[in-house]
Homo-oligomer: A and B are copies of this chain.
Amino acid sequence: MVRRLFLHHARRRLHSGTASSIPLSTPIFAIFGANTGVGKTLVSAGLATALLSSPSPAVSSVAYLKPLQTGYPVDSDASFVFSRTPALLRAFPPCRATRLIASCRTFFQSPAVEAKAESLHESQEKVVTYGAGAAEQTKVLACCTAYAWREPVSPHLAAEREGMAAGDDEVKGCVEQWLLEEGIGEGGEVWKILETAGGVASPSASGTLQCDLYRPFRLPAILVGDGRLGGISSTLSAYETLLLRGYDVSAVILEDRELSNDKFLLSYLRNRVHVLILPQIPEDPLDDLTDWFSESSSIFIFLKDELQSFHSRRIERLNSMQRKSKALLWWPFTQHNLVPQDSVTVIDSRYGENFSVYKIKDKMLIPQFDACASWWTQGPDSNLQIELARDMGYAAARYGHVMFPENVHEPALHSAEVLLGGVGKGWASRVYYSDNGSTAIEIALKMAFRKFSLDHGIMASSENSTRNERNIQLKVLALNGSYHGDTLGAMEAQAPSAYTSFLQQPWYSGRGLFLDPPTVYIKSEVYNISLPQSMQHDPQTYGDTCFFSQAEVFCKTRDKTFAADLYSSYIKQKLSEFSLSSSSEHLAALIIEPVIQGAGGMLMIDPLFQRVLVSECRSRKIPVIFDEVFTGFWRLGVESASELLGCLPDIACYAKLMTGGIIPLAATLATEEVFESFESDSKLTALLHGHSYTAHAMGCTAALKAMQWYRGPSTNSNLDTDHMKLKELWDGTLVKQLSSLPNVKRVVSLGTLCAIELKAEGADAGYASLYASSLVQQLRKEDDIYIRPLGNVIYLMCGPCTPRDSCTRQLLKVHRRLCALN
């Protein structure tokens, strides 16, 4: 019965890579070992006993879970805890008279176990009393084994040899179910203890390391150290392995083998974690350990107190974070008056695509799908996150930070090679590193202006520039709705908006000719081209403004249509008007976000228009800058958005996804011709722009790993290797259905992005709109999707490696909400 119930729940599996809900009302700890055979189960039993005998805090119930057990039934850690704890309670200091209901269950046994273990019940229960006087209270000890194999080897071998697999999702499903089960028992706390198998990095049944398998839960760890010769090393290494998975270690506890390992560890781990020492464990297999437990009781009681205090501090801190953040922080882009304290999102950790969010009312950690892909940077799935943590730890330890001009180090050089062989392939020959998208743009503009000035004879000799040149005004050619960053130089290259008002940036003047671009969107299952009002045309001559597939929109044959001619004459006319209006002003650079304008509201620009624009600039020797900070590195389904456009820039900027979106780094790539325009014999003509962390080793190391991970068929299962593009992530049918909803104005779906503009009029439209906010609140609170709207545009964004089924789940939730709104 019990088993069937459990089975039923376990089938409600966790999806790969998703995080899990974790109750924090209950103290829950995971026991990890520095090695196998260091006494994890003794610690489990000792801790359970200390808890059940404790007058303060009053503990009503202890649940123990051994998810993976090998060597069963000879070795059964759950059975040990079940059978020994009741007896041990008498060895601990006397407490109030108590009735204990103890149970022991095993859910899944391999055929080899079932064949041999006739005598073993899969479920046992007993009732004992302990303490002084007549039993006044009832407590519960519930011990479970989830999966049991017979051979005393690593679970991955046992699973293979005995023919009972236990996939990660199944095991995590069991653990989640166990975590969410309410404890029984009267008037006191419920504690839970999960005991892992072997060492911290021992393989689970699937081969996933245990520290990785249980990472979605990120339970505070108790590390059972190694008291033997060499044990300092294995304990510290195990500790570091846990840190490199983002675990908090609440205590280290180890056996005394008279080598003073504890003293050394105590000193080394001072201010980090408590170290406790247990008496030497008798080696005689006949010793029933009663004396040892009795001798150890004060240590286990101390451990229990430490854990209690660790748990309380954690909860206190989590409970205070909303209040403190409102008092101390100043968030970007945020009107603090509009953020009530209880709407602040407390992020306890992240696992792959999911935040783990603390809900103060429920005392729960809830996974939320990060639909803004941490503001457009985020790339890693849960595996890449761990790889990046390890690689960046290595880079920090190897290089710290080393300055860059006139120097070279391996990560900077190697990532330059990968950049030039990837997004820069076929055009770029130089990499200029900086540290964010905005600085990459300012550098690109400086490059373009120099190249333009030389090509157009604005500086006869570049070294003799004088104040006279100040009469010459260099401007950019750009598109309305564009966004290139928040530093002044980047802002000057974008059209006026709420961001650029006098209130925001009194120094902004808008140094550009800003054209109105035609856009593309899906509405009622059809791709529509929307022409700006300024582009006067005869609807008859333009031709089709409707397409039935994305491929048609991007098709190069459109170059030969009337639409191309219309675009070309519109651009020519604007350029000609500009040059007539002033002889001292020059359009010295074209700067565009290829295909998608992100901050502008996730607008898809007609690729044909951008292609024509690039071509017109080329013929005038105006350098072309692609701002790929948002669009680069598979954001739009291809490594570089220039592949979608079908034309190449002279200069391009990359950041965000480049490093996996985990650490700041930016790069401006340029052609050799652009580079050469800075060459001379004088330092004064060099590009005198830099930032302290240019090409910093950790950033370059992360970039290397991320760039290679995205484009590796073995690491990115979304990759269509034949076409070197991502498979469809947002279900096409669902996207079309969305586009047909009456409250949806338009949909843009490309690569990792699916944006939905809601119908809104007047004050509801635009950046300041709060129109979407109730929808957003529902999605956040009830659907566990962390959405951040852009005015009346909501969007889902994933990483290049996010599994398609996860995308579909999120999109279904949005679809359901939008249907309900109607």
Contacts and interface: CB of A to CB of B under 8 A. Distances in A.
Given A408-B347, A692-B436, A507 B487 contact: no
Interface residues of A, number: 178
Interface in A384-414: 385-386, 388-390, 392-410, 412-413
Contacts of A503: 450, 453, 459, 462, 465, 684-685
B230 A437 contact: no
A407 B488 CA distance: 26
A385 B410 contact: no
Contacts of A240: 201, 237, 240-241, 244, 390
Contact of A349 (B398, B435, B442): B398
Interface stretch (A273-281, A321-329, A534-542, A545-553): A321-329
Interface stretch (A139-147, A290-298, A368-376, A612-620): A368-376
Given A240-B237, A246-B397, A335 B686 contact: yes
Given A157-B260, A375-B403, A389-B396, A430 B328 contact: yes
Contacts of A588: 506
Nearest to A470: B502
Contacts of A370: 402-403
Nearest to A416: B328
Interface in A292-341: 317, 321-322, 324-325, 327-339
Contact of A413 (B233, B328, B472, B679): B328
Task: Report copies per complex.
Answer: 2
Contacts of A680: 335, 337
A233 B202 contact: yes
A380 B207 CA distance: 38
A572 to B, nearest CB: 25
Interface string A234-264: 1011101101111000000000000110001
Contacts of A130: none
B154 A229 contact: yes
B675 A330 contact: yes
A360 to B, nearest CB: 12
Contacts of A420: 328
Contacts of A229: 36-37, 152-154, 198
A177 interface: no
Contact of A243 (B374, B397, B462): B397
Kindly list the 3 A-B residue pairs having the minimum CB-CB distance in the complex, ordered from nearest: A199-B233, A332-B690, A246-B398
Given A37-B229, A370-B403, A401-B662, 4 more contacts: A37-B230, A330-B431, A450-B503, A663-B698
A220 B264 CA distance: 27
Given A375-B403, A499-B688, A685-B503, A439 B442 contact: no
Nearest to A236: B201
A720 interface: no
Contacts of A488: 442, 487-489, 492
Given A487-B439, A684-B498, A245 B397 contact: yes
A260 B207 CA distance: 12
A335 B686 CA distance: 5
A439 B486 contact: yes
